[in-house]
Amino acid sequence: MVPTFDKFLYPVLNALNDGKEHTLKSLMDDMALIFSLSDTDVAEKVSGGSETKLHNRTQWATTYLGKAGLLQRPKRGINMITPEGKSLLATGITAITPKYLGEHYPSFTVFAYGHKDKGDQENVAVDEPSKTPSELMDEAFGEINATLASDLLDHVKNQSPKFFEQLVVKLLVSMGYGGSLDNAGVVTQISHDDGIDGIIKEDKLGLDNIYIQAKRYTTGSVQKPDIQKFIGALTEQGASKGVFITTTTFSNGAIETSKKAAGVKIVLIDGEMLTKLMIENNIGVSLKQSYEIKRIDTDFFNEE
């Protein structure tokens, strides 16, 4: 397991104590050895991102130490300890935390708190020592989306079955099914649906149809007989592809039945996946606020 962020500050600085130039990659290799990380640990990603925890935490450690004046970057991609950093290690210190840096290094206080006085540290994110700023943002984003998904599902459950059928067709069209066809997706007539609530074209040319069953439940789960009925409806239509969408969950029997359907491929979408797809495709939600996280464009600075 990759240690928490606060555990990286001291070993990163100590690895630089030889006075030599170190790349981020070499420091990551040092941390992997110091923490006895397995290949699985080294490949572990941060929540909601493609960056590894090892890369994220090593890089942020160099940033924090640099802002405190304990390391310098004499050229791009190179880290070296400063006299101040050597002095700190000479005291025999064996642990460094963001709070310690804020209390002892004014330059870090400016970076962390935006002014020269450390002020009310209890309300500043940097005092959460176990996570990097990017990890804290990823977690906050996840919590906001989880709340949004829960509220969104409640709204969907409070709508009529007819509304729900129209919603799922609109969702699949927004996901790219049917392409630009005017009749990419349609909702069947309630009195004549025969177990089919909607039909959508699989592609722009309309070479195949995907049949939809939509169950707006407020409680309970979709059971095996519901899937069997849907399979029967698909067979009557001569169809080979179907999507069964519900606002709740599928029982184990329903899931197993969908997998064993002969000659028919059925995709099951439960309430959790439904809201995730709605958020990703902006169905029933609107943009409230956006943040852009930018990084240095190293190619720009390499131009002749």
Taking only the tens place, the pLDDT of each residue in 16-36 is 999 999 999 999 999 999 999
Q: Is the pLDDT of residue 85 over 60?
A: yes
- Nearest 5°: phi and psi at 242? -145, 155
CA-CA distances (angstroms) from residue 217 to 79, 118, 157, 254?
Answer: 58, 53, 7, 15
Q: What is the pLDDT of residue 191?
A: 40
Each as own residue / partner, the long-range contacts of residues 208-212 (CB below 8 Å, 24 or more positions apart, any chain) are 208/240, 208/241, 209/239, 209/241, 210/172, 210/177, 210/239, 210/241, 210/242, 210/243, 211/237, 211/239, 211/241, 211/242, 211/243, 212/165, 212/168, 212/169, 212/172, 212/242, 212/243, 212/244, 212/245
Strand 241-246, strand 209-215: pairing? parallel
Q: Any idea which residue has 């991102």 for tokens? A: 49
Let me know if 115 is exposed, middle or buried by CB neighbors in 10 A (0-12, 13-18, 19+): exposed
Q: What is the pLDDT of residue 114?
A: 64
What SS3 class is residue 237?
helix
Q: What is the pLDDT of residue 125?
A: 42
Q: What is the pLDDT of residue 199?
A: 85
- Indicate the pLDDT class of residue 192, thresholds 50, 70 and 90: very low
- The mean per-residue pLDDT over the stretch 91-112 comes to 88
Question: What percent of the chain clears pLDDT 90, i.e. is strictly above it?
Answer: 49
- The mean per-residue pLDDT over the stretch 237-245 comes to 91
- Nearest 5°: phi and psi at 214? -125, 120
- Indicate the pLDDT class of residue 184, thresholds 50, 70 and 90: low
Q: pLDDT per residue over 31-42, tens digit each?
A: 999 999 999 999
Sheet containing strand 241-246, edge to edge, reads 185-187, 198-201, 209-215, 241-246, 265-269
The two tokens of residue 73 are: 């970057």
* C-alpha to C-alpha distance for 113 and 76, rounded to whole angstroms: 26
How many Cβ atoms are within 10 Å of 239's Cβ, its own excluded?
A: 19
Q: Any idea which residue has 């927004």 for tokens? A: 174
Q: What is the pLDDT of residue 283?
A: 93
Q: What is the pLDDT of residue 82?
A: 96
Q: What is the pLDDT of residue 146?
A: 81
Decide: pTM greater than 0.85: no
* C-alpha to C-alpha distance for 283 and 281, rounded to whole angstroms: 6
